[in-house]
Amino acid sequence: MTERKPKIAVIGAGLMGHGIAQVFALAGHDVTIYDAAQTSLDTVKDRILTNLKDLGDDQSAVNRVTPEADLGKAVADSDYVVEAVLEDLPLKQRLFDEIEQHVRPDTILASNTSVIPITDIMQGLKHRERALGTHWWNPPFLVPLVEVIETEWTSAEAVAFTMKLHADAGKQPAHVKKDVPGFIGNRLQHALWREAVSLVEHGICDAETVDNVIKAAFGRRLAVLGPLENADMVGTDLTLAIHKIVLPAIDSRPGPSPYLEKLVADGKLGFKSGEGFRTWTPEQQTELRAKVLKHLKKAREEDAKQ
């Protein structure tokens, strides 16, 4: 007898929500998806179908996705609820408060926030032991990682269930044992971005050079060689010697760079305004977006061969 797959409810049918729904549906789960905007619900199946076609995935998976305009009905029968609405703490708190009134006490509740502490989102729940964070990366159907964030209240069973749920759906779950800002991925990513901005701010090189140095040097290795594997490879003694010289020179200011603050104050918002660290024509923006997508698709194909 085959085991019943947990029923999933996705709250929010935007960029992340529709992609998360797609991953679970493709893995054989029945998925209900809720959004406050009717247009999001009306288009969600088409958006998922377009992705499935584009990726050469089983198009029938879309039949397992049910849009639902009533939040209570969307979650009532679910084993697992994942929220991906706007990055707005009071909104997320309000939604979970309402969701808890419609689900079983053991239904797992997850938020896909980018940076809001899970503890802040879930603190008002009656059953906080079943609540956690799941931080997916965009696009959810191409980037393998999902960070599973534990709060001080989360039970070991809820963490184990969520790790297995994502692994079974073909994702690579990473257990974040403490609810720290930025979790793991964004802490690492923004430690690098802080130094990248600082190099430009201090006239050491221009923005294009920073990006080229990363892409043509350690960026080439990063997908297969993490920093701690790399440290072991070259030796912890050499790593220590390098840190003694380089770390005191690296930016360690606790807040954002004044250079970044000024870009924003001057309306240089990046792609949105055509200029940020660099200038961007609409064609260059389209080209870069397409390049990233092509790279991620190729990586997914390589993963599938292994």
Ligand X SMILES: NC(=O)c1ccc[n+]([C@@H]2O[C@H](COP(=O)([O-])OP(=O)(O)OC[C@H]3O[C@@H](n4cnc5c(N)ncnc54)[C@H](O)[C@@H]3O)[C@@H](O)[C@H]2O)c1
Q: Which residues does the annotation mark as catalytic?
A: 114, 135, 147, 186
Amino acid identity for residue 136 in this structure = W
What's the longest Cα–Cα distance across the chain?
A: 66
Among 28, 37, 157, 252, binds ligand X (CB under 6 A): 37
Task: Tell me: cis bond preceding 144? Omega within 30 of 0 counts.
Answer: no
- Locate 60 and state its tokens: 């029938």
Q: Give whichever of 181 and 258 is closer to ligand X, judged by the CB atom.
A: 181
Q: Which is nearer to ligand X, 116 or 231 (CB)?
A: 116
- Of 97-156, binders to ligand X (CB under 6 A) are 112-114, 135-138
Nearer to ligand X, 85 or 118 (CB): 85
Q: Would you state the structure tokens that stand for residue 252, as one six-digit string?
A: 């360690």
In the bound state with ligand X, the residue whose beta carbon lies nearer, of 170 and 213, is 170
Answer yes or no whether residue 86 interacts with ligand X by CB under 6 A: yes
- Nearer to ligand X (CB atom), residue 12 or residue 210: 12
Task: Name the minimum Å distance from CB 249 to ligand X.
Answer: 32
Q: Which stretch binds ligand X (CB under 6 A): 9-17, 24-32, 57-65, 228-236?
A: 9-17
Task: Output the smallest distance, CB 78 to ligand X, in A.
Answer: 15
Bridge partners (DSSP) of residue 34 are: 11
Give the three-class secondary structure for 237. Answer: helix
User: Among residues 9, 16, 27, 108, which is the contact residue for ligand X, using CB under 6 A?
Assistant: 16
**Residue with the CB atom nearest ligand X in the bound state:** 14
80 is an interface residue for ligand X by CB under 6 A: no
Would you call 58 exposed, middle or buried from its count of C-beta atoms within 10 A (0-12, 13-18, 19+)? exposed
Identify which range of 13-21, 147-155, 160-168, 284-292 contacts ligand X by CB under 6 A: 13-21
Count H helices, E strands: the chain?
13, 8
Interface pick for ligand X out of 55, 76, 91, 207 (rule CB under 6 A): 91
Contact call for residues 150 and 179 (beta carbons, < 8 A): yes
Query: Do the beta carbons of residue 173 and residue 166 sit within 8 Å?
Result: yes
CA 227 to chain centre: 20
Single out the residue of 42, 87, 206, 303 in contact with ligand X (rule: CB under 6 A).
Answer: 87
Do 66 and 30 touch, CB atoms closer than 8 A?
yes
User: Cβ neighbours of residue 94 under 8 Å, at least 6 residues apart?
Assistant: none
Amino acid letter for position 179: D
Instruction: Give whole-number Cα distances, 155 to 30, 127, 159, 173, in Å.
Output: 25, 10, 7, 17
Shortest spacing between CB 82 and ligand X, in angstroms = 10
Cβ 243 to ligand X, closest distance in Å?
31
Nearest to 182 by CA among 170, 168, 192, 172: 192
- Taking CB under 6 A as the criterion, the residue among 5, 6, 36, 300 binding ligand X is 36
CA–CA separation, 244 vs 189, rounded Å? 22
**Which of 52, 74, 85, 110 touches ligand X by CB under 6 A?**
85
Q: Measured from the CB atom, is 47 or 64 closer to ligand X?
A: 47
Query: Is there binding between residue 13 and ligand X (CB under 6 A)?
Result: yes
Residues that bind ligand X (CB under 6 A): 11-17, 35-37, 40, 84-87, 91, 112-114, 135-138
